[in-house]
Structure 1
């Protein structure tokens, strides 16, 4: 496995400069900022990532004010208690994407979120308690305990909220394969732990956040 500096050199050769590689990256939020984020914004971000999956993101963006209204500001207590009448009205509401299973996921994720928030004093506090070297475990938790939050959906959800972590895009996976970390896209627990170990090693050696490391790996290929 090459050092991150060696991979960065490949990216710089392809993209021209480190500044070009890291352009547009938003620094990860601090633990304090994650804790301060209201629970409704976490549920909103979960929902947005779920509806973006397999759909045109620009359409979801343009309809987002309708989502905020339809789901009552994503108040977790309200969404957790969604009754059949509300659900039925949502699946015919033209101000949102009318996808029944994804609409039901909002209710189920509101219940999940409330459980964690009640235990930890807020969902942000729960997320802030996960260090970067356990990011793969956090992804596994979202897949197991949330609804429709596995795979890339969970990764993009956390990235959108400023959680430091990696996104296993096609290019990132290609670099991990080239470095001998994995031999195919990671789907098993052991493969994800191998990915985590590699990112953690690059993080320790470089001092860079996982978000930057992910971009460096991606731009060394794509």
Structure 2
């Protein structure tokens, strides 16, 4: 497995220098900043990712103001206290993307966030306290405890909210395969553990956050 600096050199040769590689990489939020994000914003970002899956993101963007209204501003308390037949009203609401499985997933995630709030104080607090060296564990937890947050939906949501993260995009997977970390897109716990170990190694070598390492890996192939 090449060192992080060697992979950065490859990316820099492809993209026009180290500064070009590093220029657009976002800085993760601190744990306190993550913990301070209101629960409704976490649900909103989950909803956006769920609704965007498989359709034009522009459609979701254009309908977003109406979606927020229909979902009561994604207020966790308001959503989770609605009567059961509210779901059926949503399915007929022209303001939203009328996909019953996706709408149900958003309601299920509201309930999940409320459970986490009751046990941890806030959803953001749990995310903030989850150690970066076990990001794979956090992704698996989102997949098992949440609804339709598997694949890259959960990791993208975490990245967009500011959690230090890596995303197993096609380009990142290609670099991991080239480095012998995995032999294909990871699907087993063993493969995900190998990916986490590789990222932890590059993190220790470079002092860079997971987000930076992930973006450098992507730019070294894509």
TM-score computed with the length of structure 1 as normaliser: 0.97
**Paired residue for 1:183?**
183
Aligned length: 222
RMSD of the alignment, in Å?
A: 1.1
Task: Give the corresponding residue for 2:83.
Answer: 83
Equivalences for residues 93-172 of structure 1 within 5 A = 93-172=93-172
Question: Is structure 2 residue 89 aligned with structure 1 residue 50?
Answer: no
Offset of 1:164 from its aligned partner? 0.3
Structure 1, 84-93 or 133-142: larger mean CA deviation: 84-93
Query: What's 2:210 paired with?
Result: 210
Q: Give unpaired runs (5+ residues) of structure 2.
A: none
TM-score relative to the length of structure 2: 0.97
Shift of 1:24: 2.5
State the alpha-carbon separation in 2 of the partners of residues 77 and 106 from structure 1: 14
Correspondence for 2:27 = 27
Q: CA deviation at 1:25?
A: 2.3
**CA offset digits 1:33-62 (Å, max 9, x no partner):** 011110111111111111112221121112
Contact 1:21 1:216 in 2 (8 A): yes
Aligned counterparts, 1:32-43, within 5 A = 32-43=32-43
Q: Secondary structure at the match of 2:167?
A: coil
Q: How does 1:8-19 map to 2 (within 5 A)?
A: 8-19=8-19
Q: Distance in 1 between matches of 2:108 and 2:66?
A: 20
